[in-house]
Amino acid sequence: MGVSIILILAHIEFPIDIMHKSVNYRIFLRNVFSENIKYLLFMETSPLSLNLSLPTSIRYSLVGRRALTSEDVRSLVFESIGLISRAQDDLDLKICPNIQETKRRLREGTFEAKPLSNMREETYRMAFGSFSPPATIVLDSHLPFCDMPMDIPDVPSTMTRYTAVHEVIHADDHAGGDVTLHATREHFFRHHRDKLESGMEVIESADNGDCICNCEELANIWAIQYVNLLTHYRSYVVLRHHRLPRLDMVWDMMQNDFFPPNLLTQIEIERDMRYVFEKMIERAGEYCIIDALLESKRIRDKHVTRYAV
């Protein structure tokens, strides 16, 4: 999968002279993106406390440093539904257009808390949580310790809410038929077939045991990456609206991903939040990870030209 990820960058004139190791990809991508935009990410973030009353069990789990339980996960999920509903009403944005159906499904859902350090290959997942259709949400039971050994106030609480919101958004996408996932996959064949074919040539020539066998699988992987990018961004928008403390630090933790979510906050700063939603999120099948990278590159190039001496 590592080879396929770098192919996108190769087609938009990023350097590709790096070794085929995931750690090198991460270092490379971090260098490409973070230097230009890491200080632009948090302009609207205010470290104010969120005025919400958490159930005692969750409040204790985040302050008292015990592992999360399944009942904690259930409470966090339904708190997240409330956060999302309020944010999309206040902002008049379609963050989770199927939220009532999602809530109905999750009432009968399964909630688990367990260590996720060995769960790395699920379709719907992030570092600290996963969603499995139709209605199973798992959060890492060690989330209350995610700031260790530094012991940073508010980070475990905000990261836990971020993870819960993230998985509820995945559940909402599934309740709506995973429209963006399917439409984005078709988008690659309509508009980027050449990149899929070139990608398969590199994968086949690498002979490194990669499990991607054809263009259909590669398009599916890229579509999943794009959907996850949108999910991260929507999670960030929800928690930023509610002014969760230390959200900037939590958001910075996401920059180790192959395609850091700050791609979309960079575009948001250049355009606006409604542009991101209307162009990328609501018009499924008309935009993808390649288009986001290209737009991000155009923005950086424009800034370089503007400040050139």
pLDDT at position 306: 60
Provide the pLDDT confidence category of residue 153 given band limits of 50, 70 and 90. Answer: confident
Domain of residue 137 covers 2-307
Q: Taking each helix axis as running N to C, give the angle between helix 193-206 and helix 215-241, from 0 to 180 degrees, rounded to the nearest 10.
A: 110
Per the structure, the count of domains in the chain is 1
Q: How many whole angstroms separate alpha carbon 238 and alpha carbon 95? A: 8
Q: How many whole angstroms separate alpha carbon 294 and alpha carbon 299? A: 9
Per residue in 253-277, pLDDT tens?
776 556 677 888 889 999 999 999 9
pLDDT at position 112: 97
% of the chain at pLDDT higher than 70: 72
pLDDT at position 274: 93
Most confident of 29-43, 151-165, 197-211, 251-265: 151-165
Q: How many whole angstroms separate alpha carbon 278 and alpha carbon 264? A: 13
Rg (CA), the chain: 19
For 50, phi then psi, to 5°, come to -80, 125
Q: Residue 156: name the closest of 48, 261, 84, 61 by CA.
A: 61
- Distances from the Cα of 251 to the Cα of 26, 171, 244, 257, 260, angstroms: 16, 21, 11, 11, 10
Per residue in 289-308, pLDDT tens?
888 888 888 888 887 766 55
Q: Give the CA diameter of the chain.
A: 61
Say which residue, 62 or 248, is predicted with more confidence. 248
Q: Residue 68: name the closest of 105, 108, 80, 77 by CA.
A: 77
